[in-house]
Every structure is written in structure tokens, then in C-alpha cells.
Amino acid sequence: MKNPGPATGLLGDTATRDYAAKLQRFNAFAAPELRQAIGSLELRAGMRVADVGCGTGEALAWFAAQVGAEGTVVGMDLAAAHVAAAQATARQHGALAIQADLLRAPLARGSFDLAWSVNVVNHLRDPLAGIAAIAALLRPGGRIALGQSSFLPDMYFAWDARLERLVNEAVRQYYRDRYGLDERDLAAVRATVGLLRRAGLRQVQARTFMLERLSPLRPDDERYLVETLFRDTWGTRLRPYLAADDHDLLMRLCDPAHPDFALRRPDFHFLQSFTLVVGEV
């Protein structure tokens, strides 16, 4: 299959970009809430489901369990490395995973009952075009389910409100600088309801699931927070945005070997939202 072209998204996604490990950590962390969201869709045996922007494919197994052997589950992602991971899951559960740009999906139009797309349209320069392309895959009466986690999750420092404010502001400035975004872009992830209505979807409904974690944490929770949030989002990246003393304090909170490690604190509290917006074509 011909490889998709260059980056089409605000966040620099290409066919060769690889953040599979980050996706796998998030899906393991958020699995309880993601599976609850899928359950809320009340899928039936025999339905046809497309996971548009399937990432590393964990949801393919969850959908296959919902629609049964008589159903069809197809995952699609732009990145080759993500699809390679998704194909391993797909093979185990009777699903299919393919590499493709959602704007040029090589799937039969009007053939799916549900299109599920999580943390995808916020990556696109033209979200409405993306939604139109996804909607084209659906039969009359089919549904789009757009899931969006808060773009920048908040860490609650119950013991230090000042540091909490400084860190959250620093993270936002880092993302604005890294991707050339402004405050409107960072807030655009909250606009999913409006996007579906502007795209002509009917019966648009929204439900928000809270990913709330307290200590003690599951291993999957700790792995996601330490490796994705503490290391990949915070760490040395925030050094230019914090005073030296504040950055040193933050690094002590992020260090599993330090007595001040945040995830061992009895007052540790993490909160991230996941909103599922569903509309009918």
C-alpha cells in the first residue's frame, strides 16, 4: 500500500512518526474508563466498527468482544509503527488493522455502523474535513463516537498550590512553543460537540468520564504517570519555564528514589477528563 504523505496535522503526525510506547501506556492507564465508554455505546453482535486513528490497537480487542465473531472491526492509523503494533492485537481477536490517512481511507463508504476515533481530530489542521471523511464511512443512521482526553492533564499538588499553578502554566507554555500553538488551539479540544453539529451530525450527545487516581496506584497507572507525564512531558523540558528552585522541587517529586516522590504521598491526586461525543449521520 502506498504510504501516506507528509504531515497534515497541528502536532506533526506523519507515517514515520512513532510514539507507540506512549499510546500503549495511555491505553493501559485509561483502560477502565475507555472500556466503560465503549460499553455506553450499547453495541450489538454483528455490527461493523471502524477505529479511525486506532494507534496501537488496544481498543480493537474491546470492540471485537462487543460485536462478536459475526461482526467486523477494522482499525486504521497513519503511523506505520502504530499499525504494526495494532496488527498483533487485531490478529488475536479477528480484527484488521491497516495503515492509511483518514482523509483518504481505503474503506468502503457507507459500510460501518460505528466509527470510533479517540484523540485524533485535535491533531488535524481541518477537523471538519476529518469528521466529514469519517462520516462518509457510515451507513445511514450510523454513529461517530469522538473521544477526547484533556489535551493537557492537570496534576493536583494538594500540598503545594503554588507549585501546582506554576507547573501547569509551564506545561501550557511548553506546548505553545513546541508546536507553535496559541491558547485557542490548546482549548480547541473542548469544541467536539460544536464540531459534530457543524458537520451536520444529528442527535449529538456528550458524556465525560473522569480518570481520577489516588495513591496507592496500580502498576499501569504509575508507569503512565512516571514515564509519560513526569519524564516525557515534564523533566528537563520544563527547566526553561520554571525558576531553578521550583524546577529542582518538581524533579524531587518526579524521582521514584527520592523521599518526596509524588506518587508515594498519601495526598497524591491526579485528574484527567475523557469526553465522548456521539452523533448520528
What confidence tier does 222 reach under pLDDT thresholds 50, 70, 90?
very high
- Residue 137 pLDDT: 97
At residue 146, what are phi and psi to the nearest 5 degrees? -95, 120
pLDDT above 70 covers a percentage of the chain that reads: 91
- Mean of all residue pLDDT scores within the chain: 90
pLDDT per residue over 4-63, tens digit each? 444 445 445 788 889 999 999 999 999 999 999 999 999 999 999 999 999 999 999 999
Q: Measured between alpha carbons, how far is 23 from 74 in angstroms, rounded to an integer? A: 18
Domains of the chain: 20-152+183-211+272-280 (3.40.50.150), 154-180+217-267 (no CATH)
pLDDT per residue over 72-96, tens digit each? 999 999 999 999 999 999 999 999 9
Q: Is residue 156's pLDDT more than 90?
A: no
C-alpha cell at 47: 455490527
Range 120-124, long-range pairs (CB < 8 A, 24+ positions): 120/52, 120/53, 120/146, 121/146, 121/148, 121/192, 121/195, 122/10, 122/11, 122/148, 122/151, 122/188, 122/189, 123/9, 123/10, 123/11, 123/13, 123/53, 124/8, 124/9, 124/10
Q: Is residue 211's pLDDT more than 80?
A: yes
pTM for this predicted structure: 0.88
